[in-house]
């Protein structure tokens, strides 16, 4: 049975960080945003901050704690030294990753290069994705969320159809 505490934006089960919900935040003139308190609580540990990098699969910033870093490190370590994919992952992940500490107000300062890369200038969405969270320009996230909802509907309908077909095939 999983132990945990729940709130509007986080759940900690065992030792794993889990990030839930979506928060709209203001990016100030110094590129600072307040990380939701629920996320900061889930990230508490020896390093009082967050690891951030350009997301590999989306045009946004991906963030998380030590568990995210460890997951990427384990993925990279599965590949032999000299492997082209390993080199690409090392460059994209380690070369793009920054450690950002929380200030006294719970803010992080996003690097200018990351903000410029994704067009972040004012309103952003901080989106929980379970073991990590992403920071998006608000308008880009609204479009992404609509596409994700449609993809989830279509994918779930296709999955249910395959399950029904498999069940009918095994009953025959």
Per-residue pLDDT tens digits for 92-125: 999 999 999 999 999 999 999 999 999 999 999 9
* 135, 63 Cβ separation under 8 angstroms: yes
In a domain, 162, yes or no: no
Is 161 within the bounds of a domain?
A: no
For the chain, the maximum distance between any two Cα atoms, rounded to a whole number of angstroms, is 66
Beta bridge partners of 127: 22, 134
Tell me which of 141 and 168 has the higher pLDDT. 141
Any domain includes 107: yes
* Secondary structure E strands in 46-106: 49-54, 61-64, 98-101
Matching residue, tokens 């009918």: 168
CB 73 within 8 A of CB 89: no
What is the spatial distance between Cα 128 and Cα 64, in angstroms, rounded to a whole number?
Answer: 10
Q: What is the mean pLDDT of residues 157-171?
A: 90
Domain carrying residue 109? 4-138
pLDDT for the residue 21? 94
In this prediction the pTM is 0.84
Per-residue pLDDT, 172: 64
What is the total count of domains within the chain? 1
42 located within any domain: yes
Structure tokens that stand for 19 in this block = 């990030």
Domain of 10, CATH number, reads 3.40.1550.20
Q: Is 158 domain-assigned?
A: no
Q: Is there a domain that residue 153 lies in?
A: no
Residue 171 has pLDDT above 80, yes or no: no
* Residue from 155, 51, 164 nearest 111 by CA: 51
Q: Output 136-142 pairs: Cβ under 8 A, ≥24 positions apart.
A: 136/58, 136/60, 136/61, 137/60, 138/24, 140/59, 140/60, 141/22, 141/60
Which alpha helices (DSSP H) does the chain contain, by range? 37-43, 66-77, 84-89, 112-118, 138-171
> 133 in a domain, yes or no?
yes
pLDDT in tens, 6-64: 344 544 444 467 899 999 999 999 999 999 988 988 887 777 789 999 999 999 999 99
Q: Domain for residue 59, yes or no?
A: yes
Distance of CA 122 to the CA centre of its chain: 20
């Amino acid at each position: 049975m999983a132990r945990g505490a729940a709130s509007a934006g986080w759940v900690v089960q065992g030792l794993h960080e889990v990030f839930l919900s979506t928060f709209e935040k203001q990016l100030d003139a110094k590129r600072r945003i307040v990380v939701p308190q629920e996320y900061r609580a889930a990230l508490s540990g020896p390093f009082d901050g967050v690891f951030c990098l350009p997301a590999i699969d989306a045009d946004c910033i991906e963030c998380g704690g030590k568990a995210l870093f460890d997951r990427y490190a384990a993925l990279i370590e599965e590949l032999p030294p000299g492997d082209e994919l390993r080199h690409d992952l090392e460059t994209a992940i380690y070369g793009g990753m920054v450690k950002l500490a929380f200030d006294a107000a719970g803010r992080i300062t996003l690097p200018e290069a990351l903000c410029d890369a994704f067009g972040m200038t004012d309103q952003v969405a901080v989106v929980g994705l379970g073991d990590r969270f992403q920071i998006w320009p608000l308008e880009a996230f609204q479009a992404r969320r609509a596409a994700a909802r449609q993809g989830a509907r279509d994918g779930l309908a296709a999955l249910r159809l395959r399950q029904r077909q498999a069940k009918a095939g095994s009953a025959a």
